[in-house]
Structure 1
Amino acid sequence: MNLRPPFRLLFASIVIVFLSVGCHSGDKSPDKSPTWNTVQDSTDRVLTIQGGLKGPESVQYDSEQDLFFISNFNGDAAADSNGFISRAQPDGTIDSLKFITGTTAHPLHGPRGMTIKGDTLFVADQKGIHGFNRHSGTHISFIDFTDFEPGFLNDIALGPQGQLYVTDSRKPQLYQISGKTVSIAVDSLSHVNNGIMLDEANQRLVMAAWEDGKTFLTWQPSSNTLDSAGTGLGGNYDGIEPISKNSFIVTSQADSTLQLIKNGSGQIFVNVPGKPADIGVDTKRNRVAVPYIALNRVDIWQLPNQE
């Protein structure tokens, strides 16, 4: 095809536009900024992370490295030694599917909730808490919980004084880790709990109720005080993340929603396509990453602006 110079330029421009559309990663900006009062659904999600994920249960955002860690059950969450943690970029690219796999001495079985303290990524697992270097993935430590006969160690959070706190979604207990020493911080809670977060503004921990629990329990380590942060809609709450001084977001597996809990009451702001597990918040882009164990993927939505 013999094209004159002006037509060659036009033809080249058309090709460039076509290729740029064809190679789009799937990351899209919402048509307009969402609000807490407008309920989003699957058509509003920004992007999806998938391709090799096996039962993703939890997402932890690393703000310094600007990336996500995704824990994978890879089948049963029991002691099968085949769990792994993936590393993904904010655009949805998985740059290391099995970034962390544990060791022969301390394998990952069904990794779930995670938190970061310094350069260490702490991961809750079937028999205890693993520590990994968040840069290299190297195994650093393992804190054994078997003497406590845990039911299902679920989520982990950093407390106000630097201790780690771990929930058990089959026992109404809250565990504390100081150094390498494990103890029961709170025994005989009113119900079992799943997710846990630090409410830094109020120097307390907030727990997401599981099974029959409807109340988001709070515990203040300095005064050993239990209280309530309100109730939500649905039930079987899993992931929980702070948003502002008086609000946080949670996932409900009872009705497959993301909810804002503000001043003690809940409202739905996203309807999701599966049972949402332990979420992570991209604080740089104000986005929430939602894993689904059964769907083998993580969806990401834009969060509304803070109120």
Structure 2
Amino acid sequence: MSRSIHRRTFLTSSVGLALATALPATTARATTAVRISTAFTLPGGRPYPEGIALDPYSGDAYVGSYTTGAVYRAARGSSAAEVFLPSGTDGRTTANGLKVDRGGRLWVIDSTAGVDVYDLRTRALFARFTVPGSAPSFVNDLALGPDGTAYLTDSTRPVVYRVTPADLDRARGGSATLDAAYDLSAVAPPDGLFLNGIVVDPWGRYLLAVGMTGGGLYRVGTVTGSASRVTLNGGDLKNGDGLELAHGTLWAAHNATNTLSRWRLSADGTSARLQQRFTDTALQIPTTIARTHGRLLVVRSQFDKGGPMGQGVPEEPFTVAWVDGI
């Protein structure tokens, strides 16, 4: 994958000025101030983190390095992460989307190739899934359904890949090809989808994936495969990156504008209303979020400071932040 594709995927607008705002009381659910603090630091070497995953049992957090492919683990309550999988592990030079499943496995996306699945206990490669065909691809993010099925977005192809538990069992100890199960080309805008963050509703009925450049949100029925654009009331999801869904509320990280937003979904996931938007340069190009105990963990990528989105010198150490109040 060329550097230009990497750059195009992340750089969609210039970074905005620092400001912190909430919508008027008629649309905002809460008026408490948003607070940003450091959750934990990452090891040195300019990791430029992208993805984050939480172990549902231990509460440990895993973070991937977009520029080296390393994966770090921050034990629950720890103020510093340590190397879990070194850079270059199994030939991987980038690590973006991450998830931990209920079987004790860590899913690590390599945007240039596909996804690697690791046994958390042994750190051994459990299975590998690669992108089909030779056309350009950029596997970006993934979500896990309630039955353990994994769904993965591609930022250069208008498809969502699927890996079922049966697929995972068959690939154990080896590799297989990703199944491009859902085609979204019929709803793609003229400038393309550039799919990024993805979530699954709690019952596994549908997926929601964000189109980063156009700011749209797309709903895909997991059984029918039907795709449609979600009606967004009060705003858009331009520069949308990582998504988080809980109890009918959707959170989004908007990378290039240093923004977090909160939306209320309709019962069927066909529309969403903006409840709150918060922008602050202290978010340092947020790429991914994870929610736990009523708080957001936000990956501060600093991609605009010597990373894939611009020149400059990053602040070190790199950190993952706590964000409260949104």
Q: TM-score range by the shorter chain?
A: 0.7 to 0.9
- Counterpart of 1:99 (choices 80, 84, 89) is 84
Counterparts of 1:24-39 in structure 2, within 5 Å, are 36-38=29-31
Q: Which runs of 5+ in 2 are unaligned?
A: 1-27, 168-175, 266-271, 303-313
Tell me the percent identity: 21
Kindly indicate whether residue 115 of structure 2 is the aligned counterpart of residue 122 of structure 1: no
Q: 1:110 to 1:40 in 2, by over 3 A?
A: farther
Kindly indicate whether residue 149 of structure 2 is the aligned counterpart of residue 163 of structure 1: yes
For the residue of structure 2 that corresponds to 1:135, the secondary structure is coil
- Are the aligned partners of 2:131 and 2:137 in contact in 1 as well (CA < 8 Å)? no
Kindly indicate whether residue 289 of structure 2 is the aligned counterpart of residue 286 of structure 1: no
Q: 1:87 to 1:261 in 2, by over 3 A?
A: same
Counterparts of 1:146-295 in structure 2, within 5 Å, are 147-159=133-145, 161-178=147-164, 179=167, 180-187=176-183, 188=185, 189-190=187-188, 191-201=193-203, 203-212=205-214, 214-231=215-232, 232-233=235-236, 235-244=238-247, 246-263=248-265, 264-272=272-280, 273=282, 274-282=284-292, 285-294=293-302
- Counterpart of 2:324 (choices 277, 302, 305) is 302
Q: Distance in 2 between matches of 1:303 and 1:100?
A: 33
For the residue of structure 1 that corresponds to 2:296, the secondary structure is strand
- Are the aligned partners of 2:40 and 2:81 in contact in 1 as well (CA < 8 Å)? no
- Normalised to the residue count of structure 1, the TM-score between the two structures is 0.74
Higher RCO structure, 1 or 2 (CA under 8 Å, sep 6+): 2
Q: Distance in 2 between matches of 1:86 and 1:201?
A: 31
- Normalised to the residue count of structure 2, the TM-score between the two structures is 0.70
Q: Aligned Cα RMSD in Å?
A: 2.4
- Are the aligned partners of 1:69 and 1:87 in contact in 2 as well (CA < 8 Å)? yes
1:171 maps to a residue whose letter is: R
Q: Distance in 1 between matches of 2:237 and 2:223?
A: 32
Q: CA deviation at 1:124?
A: 1.0
Q: Which runs of 5+ in 1 are unaligned?
A: 1-34, 75-81
Deviations 1:133-185 (A, max 9, x none): 12342222211225353421100112355332110112222122241442212
- Are the aligned partners of 1:160 and 1:204 in contact in 2 as well (CA < 8 Å)? no
Q: 1:115 to 1:57 in 2, by over 3 A?
A: same
Q: Give the paired residue count.
A: 255
Counterparts of 1:3-82 in structure 2, within 5 Å, are 36-38=29-31, 40-41=33-34, 44-52=35-43, 54-74=47-67, 82=68
**Equivalent position of 1:8 in the other structure:** none
Q: Distance in 2 between matches of 1:281 and 1:181?
A: 31
Q: 1:220 to 1:57 in 2, by over 3 A?
A: same
Q: 1:186 to 1:290 in 2, by over 3 A?
A: same
Q: CA deviation at 1:242?
A: 0.6
For the residue of structure 1 that corresponds to 2:133, the secondary structure is helix
1:183 maps to a residue whose letter is: D
Q: 1:159 to 1:201 in 2, by over 3 A?
A: closer
For the residue of structure 2 that corresponds to 1:147, the secondary structure is coil
